[in-house]
Structure 1
Amino acid sequence: MAMTQAVQPVIRPATQPTTPARHVTVRGRASFWLFGAAACVALLVLLPLAFTLRQALGFGAANAAELVFRPIVGELALNTLMIVAAATVTSAIVGAAAAWFVERTHLPGRKIWAVLAAAPLAVPPFITSYAWVSFSESLQDFNGALLVVTTAYYPLIYLPVAAALRGMDPALEETARSLGLGPWTRFFRVVLPQLKPALLGGMLLVALGTLSEFGAFALLRFRTFTTEIYAEYRLSFDGSGASMLASILMLLCLVCLALEFRVRGLSRYDRMDRGARRAPARYHLGWGKWPVLASFAGLTLVTLGMPLGMIVYWLLQHGDAAITPVEVSLPLVLDATLSSVGLGLAGAALTTVLALPLGLLLARHPGRIATLLERIVYLAQGLPGIVIALAIVSLAIQALRPLYQSAALLVVAYAILFLPLALVSVRAALLQVEPRLEDAARSLGLNRWQTLWRVVLPLAGPGLGCAAALVFISVMTELTATLLLAPIGTQTLAMQVWADTAALAFAAAAPYAAILVGFSLISTWLLMSLFGKTAVLGATS
């Protein structure tokens, strides 16, 4: 009897489910609202894509066949496939080689070269094309296009491959060396398979970026699907023919995604035991360091020196130095700067806010539905901006006429285009916030909105700032959607560079290009600073 009385106080609290049940119910209501908000965000992204497909399907079989089977479409397809394949392979070679020499060799000044190798991301491709076109008109067509997109996009491969090399277990190479494998054999049989996810992911980004590139190709007079879609829209203004071509471009993007998934396969590359972190062995270059240094210097000259040098050169020229003089005044430059900054801030704010519910859902309530909504949002990253912008234009004309040619519609287009970029940072930041802190705040009487505002958002602040900075950079340098959706009379820095360069007014475009590159460099520095704070936060959580 005494034993029973002694045991009962221990058993009774475990059988009382009142507090946990109330806790689960509150979380259930919170997840319901999160699911609803996240679903609305996903539908917002899906709407222009579905509208494009509906418009293309309603084009009519005869009209579609007449449009698709024109000789010009075959030429566009050939140009597009050639530039995508060449740019992807060239960027992979340049990016992977740069990452290898920086991370795995005793390269003199490798920390400086590491920064310079990633810096071209701050220079938009159409700014690079402006520099090369103003230097020599002979660098147009395919060769100029390949040069521009390679120098602009190879950091998308360099960065993930460099990160993969830093995180690779040195024991793999040490074991291969103990088995008698030489340096080249170790690289192709041990190192390269470990780099496969990073390399293929970067190549996919380069391929999709090249498919969706418009401004650089338009300035270089290189015709692809993106340039022809824009021309078709400007000629007809009904959007039907352009939507048909946009559907073909969407199909090419989906083919790229399928190929990347097929090549990558379902292989796993994670380690069961991380063990002690050790620095990998670095190779001595010997006399080979001189050609490697010369290659890095040449790469920096082409990717950074040429664009920045030509901008400075044209800034020092008078207005009549442009082949087609265009008057440049301080009010015009100031108006374009204010418009770009205003749209950038508005786009960054709206995109970050829209990414919050889906980020919270993925961080706190992961599951099949959350993953499906995430994949829908990522569709925007895999499709060209001109396709989404054209769909929004047609949708506004047919169903949302009051919003047509409004700044609000342009900001919504920015949010749809760059939501995947914000979601990556927002989700990572929210995952670093310890859920027990939210439970403690709720136990102190705070409701879910107060907990979100006073606990979650301050802790995730650096990551949210990182997302906003990334979107701000993208909006400032965005060209396609801005050309199609900007209200009449609105001029941004990117639009001015494009218009003046198209008119061969290189000196007139220089001030806008200089300000745009300056904002990109400052935003990139801010982005890296916030990324560093996020990393510190994750390490201390």
Structure 2
Amino acid sequence: MLVPIFYLVLRATEADFGTVASLVFRPRTGQLLLNTTALVAGVLILATAIAAPLAWLTTRTSLKGRRIAHILVVLPLAVPGYVMAYALIGLSGYYGFMNTLFGWTFPRPQGWLGATLALSLYTYPYIYLNLRAALGSIDASLEESARALGASPREVFFRVTLPYLRPALFSGWLVVGLYVIGDFGAVALMRYEVFSYALYTQYAAAYDRIYAAWLALIMITIAVSVIWWESKLREGAHFARTGTGSGVRSSLSSLSTLPSVAAWGFIALVALASLGLPVSVLAFWLSAEPLLPSLPALLTSFWHSVSVAVPSALLAGALALPVAVMAVRYPSPLSSAINRLAFIGYAVPPLAFALAFVFISLGFARPLYQSHLLLVIAYSLAFLALALGPIRAALYLARPSLEEAARSLGYSPLSVVAHVVFPLIRRGVIGGMVLVFVIAMKELPIAFLLAPTGYRSLAITLFSRTSEGMLVNAAPYAAAIIIFSGLFVGVVLRHEAKHD
């Protein structure tokens, strides 16, 4: 985790101070900072405006069909941001979906508005899931006490309910904010210049790799600042009940016919925009040409994606297992530090992380440059946190007494891990590797910088053909990505169902 970042810093500081100052403090860098800030703010505002009412409707009201509504608003997680951007682009233009079917011609969405729409429609479920979990766990007796003391419904919401939702909001905003800072596909297709897009063009054009390194460091600094501010805002907050008695579930607000119709209208509008739109546009472009001739190329891209995703998932699981065992079974300052370092790859913007691997491979591991092995290593480190979470959770639930009994019977530490620990946490290990596999199948930014010559994954092929205006040829790849991304959504929905 640390060596690539160190090498990135080393490369960025090769130039003298005057050159660095002229690069970092040029007007373009300020404009990129404004654009990135505007995009993050726009996505957070729009995604929250979509997610908050949905979370309230599915947890606090007697709305009929709440389970169906929940599934409909989570399913857009299967449509990555760059696929959503493809759908918005395919909707517009003279030969687009709307003009062909209805005779309505729309200009191509681009810039801040296009990128904000595409990313908001993809990321709002992350905020929704956090708010839904928080709304479902608030102790209703607190709200009842506030009403009994004379507080109006508005005062109860702002003085009792909203403060309890703050950790969930911050958590959702952190995930979405970090994703938007590091996104490349949607902003590139929408032609909106933010740090990630500028970093790629700077690196690809190869006019100044030092400036590319500084752009990467600025992205890392922004990401770290976001994480730091999120932790500071949560610092010192206490939300658990301290009095006697047990918590009470919130009562459901009854909806009459008209509000119920309006609620379902809002849910339908969100579902049509975030799920119906990409599916309809995909179906339109898939019907434009026979699918059979494109199957060989599609299968080749699928194999390319699998050939990296499978070993990346296996390596991430193998790396996460000892980290999780150290963090849970052998707590110490060292194990705590290693556990935190495991999250660096996921927190650092993908293009910055990939550029660090480019520099380190060109510096003293040139045979690794543009190899499958380098891409697998980068993926396994970037998504190590995803594999670590389920394994660590399973270890917390495994009884240490079984391991102690095995050691008392003469088993070595490795034998205890192989014969006792691993069988107990097998589901967690498999679950973590499945998450890494699904994410790696649709990953774009890291693959764009580190892809070996001739490597054409589903995501790379879709992006390349969409950026060249070949929407018909890109449609099968978009459909394949949605199908495989659906695996991730299935995991989320299954987890949610277990805890309902």
TM-score, structure 1 as length reference: 0.85
By how many angstroms is 1:369 displaced?
2.4
Per the alignment, residue 119 of structure 2 pairs with: 149
By how many angstroms is 1:93 displaced?
2.6
Within-5 A mapping of 1:380-459? 380-459=345-424
Does the alignment pair 1:517 with 2:463? Answer: no
Counterpart contact for 2:438–2:487, Cα < 8 Å? no
Deviations 1:363-386 (Å, cap 9, x if unpaired)?
112233222222222222222000
Aligned partners of 1:161 and 1:152: how far apart in 2? 16
Structure 2 counterpart of 1:118, one-letter code: V
Counterpart contact for 1:333–1:511, Cα < 8 Å? yes
Does the alignment pair 1:508 with 2:473? Answer: yes
Per the alignment, residue 96 of structure 2 pairs with: none
Higher deviation after alignment, 129-138 or 219-228: 129-138
In the alignment of these two chains, the number of paired residues is 485
Per the alignment, residue 267 of structure 1 pairs with: 237
By how many angstroms is 1:207 displaced?
1.0
Per the alignment, residue 193 of structure 2 pairs with: 223
Does the alignment pair 1:178 with 2:178? Answer: no
Counterpart contact for 2:302–2:457, Cα < 8 Å? yes
Deviations 1:279-304 (Å, cap 9, x if unpaired)?
32111233322222111110001111
By how many angstroms is 1:246 displaced?
1.1
By how many angstroms is 1:338 displaced?
1.0
Within-5 A mapping of 1:277-426? 278-286=248-256, 287-318=258-289, 329-426=294-391
Distance 1:156 1:129, change over 3 A: same
Distance 1:219 1:315, change over 3 A: same
Structure 2 counterpart of 1:498, one-letter code: F
1:245 to 183, 198, 215: 215
Which structure is larger by alpha-carbon Rg, 1 or 2? 1
Distance 1:514 1:242, change over 3 A: same
By how many angstroms is 1:242 displaced?
0.5
Aligned partners of 1:396 and 1:238: how far apart in 2? 18
By how many angstroms is 1:529 displaced?
4.4
Aligned partners of 1:230 and 1:275: how far apart in 2? 57
Deviations 1:176-196 (Å, cap 9, x if unpaired)?
121122222111111111111
Deviations 1:97-122 (Å, cap 9, x if unpaired)?
21111111112211111122222222
Counterpart contact for 1:214–1:480, Cα < 8 Å? yes
Distance 1:275 1:49, change over 3 A: farther
Counterpart contact for 1:157–1:203, Cα < 8 Å? yes
By how many angstroms is 1:199 displaced?
0.8
Aligned partners of 1:59 and 1:119: how far apart in 2? 48
1:56 to 3, 7, 12: 12
By how many angstroms is 1:65 displaced?
2.2
Structure 2 counterpart of 1:197, one-letter code: P
Aligned partners of 1:523 and 1:251: how far apart in 2? 29
Deviations 1:307-362 (Å, cap 9, x if unpaired)?
11111111111279xxxxxx963221111011112211111111111111111111
By how many angstroms is 1:527 displaced?
5.9
Per the alignment, residue 432 of structure 2 pairs with: 467
By how many angstroms is 1:263 displaced?
2.2
By how many angstroms is 1:247 displaced?
1.3
Aligned partners of 1:367 and 1:198: how far apart in 2? 29
Does the alignment pair 1:89 with 2:45? Answer: yes
Aligned partners of 2:108 and 2:382: how far apart in 1? 33
Aligned partners of 2:308 and 2:293: how far apart in 1? 22
Counterpart contact for 1:120–1:303, Cα < 8 Å? yes
Counterpart contact for 1:470–1:527, Cα < 8 Å? no
Distance 1:457 1:531, change over 3 A: farther
Secondary structure at 2:108 match in 1: helix
Aligned partners of 2:170 and 2:365: how far apart in 1? 40
Aligned partners of 1:126 and 1:108: how far apart in 2? 34
Structure 1 unpaired stretches of 5+: 1-44, 321-326, 537-541
Structure 1 counterpart of 2:24, one-letter code: V
Deviations 1:137-177 (Å, cap 9, x if unpaired)?
53111111111111111111111111111222121112112
Per the alignment, residue 8 of structure 1 pairs with: none
Aligned partners of 2:244 and 2:432: how far apart in 1? 29
Distance 1:93 1:523, change over 3 A: closer
Does the alignment pair 1:195 with 2:195? Answer: no
Counterpart contact for 1:346–1:411, Cα < 8 Å? yes
By how many angstroms is 1:443 displaced?
2.9
Per the alignment, residue 36 of structure 2 pairs with: 80
Per the alignment, residue 88 of structure 2 pairs with: 132
Per the alignment, residue 447 of structure 2 pairs with: 482
Per the alignment, residue 323 of structure 1 pairs with: none
Aligned partners of 2:154 and 2:331: how far apart in 1? 43
Aligned partners of 1:382 and 1:523: how far apart in 2? 20
Counterpart contact for 1:494–1:516, Cα < 8 Å? yes
Deviations 1:499-541 (Å, cap 9, x if unpaired)?
10011100101111111111111343256547878x79xxxxx
Distance 1:159 1:523, change over 3 A: closer
Secondary structure at 1:49 match in 2: helix
By how many angstroms is 1:274 displaced?
8.9
By how many angstroms is 1:59 displaced?
2.7
Secondary structure at 1:58 match in 2: coil
Counterpart contact for 2:386–2:432, Cα < 8 Å? yes
Aligned partners of 2:489 and 2:230: how far apart in 1? 28
By how many angstroms is 1:413 displaced?
0.4
Higher deviation after alignment, 328-337 or 520-529: 520-529
Identity, in percent, stands at 35
Per the alignment, residue 72 of structure 2 pairs with: 116
Secondary structure at 1:59 match in 2: coil
Distance 1:271 1:440, change over 3 A: farther
Aligned partners of 2:135 and 2:122: how far apart in 1? 22
By how many angstroms is 1:275 displaced?
5.4
By how many angstroms is 1:486 displaced?
1.1
Does the alignment pair 1:158 with 2:128? Answer: yes
Secondary structure at 2:31 match in 1: helix
Deviations 1:119-143 (Å, cap 9, x if unpaired)?
2222111011111111125311111
Per the alignment, residue 40 of structure 1 pairs with: none
TM-score, structure 2 as length reference: 0.92
